[in-house]
Structure 1
Amino acid sequence: MLVAAAVCPCPPLLVPEVAAGAAPELDALRAACLDAVAVLAAARPDRLVVVGPAAAPGPHPQGAAGSFRGFGVDVDVRLGRGEPAGESAGERALPQSLAVAAWLLGRTSWSTAPVEGLGVDEPLDTARCLETGRELAAGAGRVAVLAMGDGSACRTLKAPGYLDDRAAAFDAGAARALGSADTTALAALDPELAREVKAAGRASWQVLAGAAEGAGLAGELLYDDAPYGVGYFVASWS
């Protein structure tokens, strides 16, 4: 049963060492993310599932390792506390989205419940996203979900995906749905439009929508802005 959820974006710039001199520009975003994670901890779940976009989808166990060394900084993270279970569990590095989540959890000294990660392929169709979420929520005990993912990357001329006039409307609809915990509206997000405006969070949000069906959670939007032309949203469901 899903008892709480949080939605956070996953740009590496959330990590101050990566952002370097630009780090203060995202202080409000970092604070909102940490507030959302604190709400997850307050729900006292039996397990936390972190879902995020990944080029190589699949599960990642507690203790799985990630790194930001590819961005030229000496920052390593682990998903939750402890070492990976089993000899080969740590062989597959965390994708960027889950590495950012691991950094956020580390900043809050997460110790409330075991953590597991799930990378989802961004083109994953809506029906499979929803079913994946339902399967997560149907697991034993009280489940919390941390859904990582960005909105469109086409909000301005200097955005990574250049300007797309449809991006602002897409992001506005996603923000409304995330802020009100509207699972129906999230399920209705168009995967093709999301791909065209480069909204990397669509699949993660729809996994969350499946997990939250019938849970009766209330939502609150903690952050909604587009620094660097990319839509970033933080929401808390409880």
Structure 2
Amino acid sequence: MLVAAAVCPCPPLLVPEVAAGAAPEMDPARAACENALGMLAAARPDRLVVVGPAEQSGQGLYQEGARGSFRGFGVDLGVGLGARPGRDRPDSAAPERELPASLAVAAWLLQRTDWSHAPVEGLGVGEPLAAERCIQIGKEIVTRAERVALLVMGDASACRSLKAPGYLDERAAGFDAEVARALAAADVTALKALDAALARELMASGRAPWQVLAGAAEGVGLSGTLLYEDAPYGVGYLVAAWS
């Protein structure tokens, strides 16, 4: 059963070493993510599943100890998924596949907050994955332990300003506002109904992970809290906690 969930954005800019001069602008988002992870820990889960967007080659499961890095962003910084003392696998036993960027950011957040409360596994989901399949995956995830928590990574639209990665799209603010409302209210029905085609046009990487969350939370009756909402650099970043 799902007992808690945290929703966080996944830009590598969350990592100060990657952000460099932009680090202060991301401080509020980092603080909100830490608060959301604290609420996950308070739920005392038996297992934490991290869900994030991934390219085709990065889709699928990642076991605890899977490695990732930010070398692709010009920073020689490595991370391990759920790298807990005494449980981290040696590098020689680590899988060859590196974590996708979203799960590497999640691994960094878990290390930053000294996560040691439950075993961790990761799941990369592809942007084209249909809503029905995302929802089914969410339902399957929560059968893996008696008390499951989710850390759901993903960004809202990337079209909120003229300098945004996707340029300015007048539909972006409304899309992000509806996602923020759904996360604040733990509105499973609204997340299930997100328009995948519109999300793709607005470059919203969180659509599939949010719909995995919707499937996992169906019928559970969790309540939601929106901890952060902003669009620095023209990209919508949202942090929420469900408990």
**Cα drift, residue 21 of structure 1:** 1.3
TM-score by length of 2: 0.95
- Who is 1:31 aligned against? 31
Alignment-derived partner of residue 166 in structure 1: 171
- Establish whether residue 219 from structure 1 lines up as the match of residue 221 from structure 2: no
Q: Is the 8 A contact 1:62 1:85 kept in 2?
A: no
In 1, distance between residues paired with 2:91 and 2:21?
39
Question: Which residue of structure 1 aligns with residue 10 of structure 2?
Answer: 10
2:136 equivalent to 1:137: no
CA–CA distance in 1 between the matches of 2:179 and 2:74? 33
| Cross-structure match for 1:22 | 22
Q: Give yes or no for the alignment of 1:126 onto 2:131.
A: yes
1:60 counterpart letter in structure 2? Y
Q: Mark the runs of 5 or more structure 2 residues left unpaired by the alignment.
A: none
| Partners of 2:66 and 2:80 within 8 A in 1 | yes
Match of 1:78 among 77, 80, 94: 80
AA in 1 matched with 2:185 = S
Alpha-carbon separation, structure 1, partners of 2:32 and 2:91: 35
Q: Is the 8 A contact 1:61 1:84 kept in 2?
A: no
**Aligned residue for 2:62?**
60
The one-letter code of the counterpart of 2:76 is D
Whether the 8 Å CA contact 1:51–1:118 is kept in 2: the answer is yes
Q: State the 1:186 CA deviation.
A: 0.2
Secondary structure at 2:10's aligned position in 1?
coil
Which residue in the other structure is 1:117 paired with? 122
What 5-or-longer segments of structure 1 have no aligned partner? none
Q: Which residue of 1 aligns with 2:212?
A: 207
Superposed CA RMSD in Å reads 1.3
Q: 1:135 to 1:87 in 2, by over 3 A?
A: farther
1:74 positional shift: 2.1
| Distance in 1 separating the partners of 2:45 and 2:90 | 21
Q: Distance in 2 between matches of 1:228 and 1:21?
A: 13
- My pick for the range that moved more, 153-162 or 70-79, is 70-79
Q: CA deviation at 1:90?
A: 1.9
The 3-state SS of whatever aligns with 1:233 is strand
Superposition deviation, residue 138 in structure 1: 1.9
Task: Return the TM-score normalized by structure 1.
Answer: 0.97
C-alpha displacement at 1:140, in angstroms?
2.4
* SS at structure 2 position matched to 1:80: coil
Deviates more, 1:72-81 or 1:225-234: 72-81
The alpha carbon displacement at 1:69 in A equals: 1.4
CA contact (8 A) 2:67 2:94 kept: no
For 1:228 and 1:86, the matched residues in 2 are separated by 36
Q: 1:60 to 1:85 in 2, by over 3 A?
A: farther
Question: Structure 1 residue 96 and structure 2 residue 101: aligned?
Answer: yes
Quote the offset at 1:101 in angstroms: 0.3
- Could you say what secondary structure the match of 1:147 adopts? strand
Give me the whole-angstrom Cα distance separating, in 2, the residues matched to 1:182 and 1:70.
36
Aligned-pair CA distance for 1:87: 6.5
* Count of aligned pairs between the two proteins: 238
C-alpha separation in 1, matches of 2:60 and 2:240 = 24
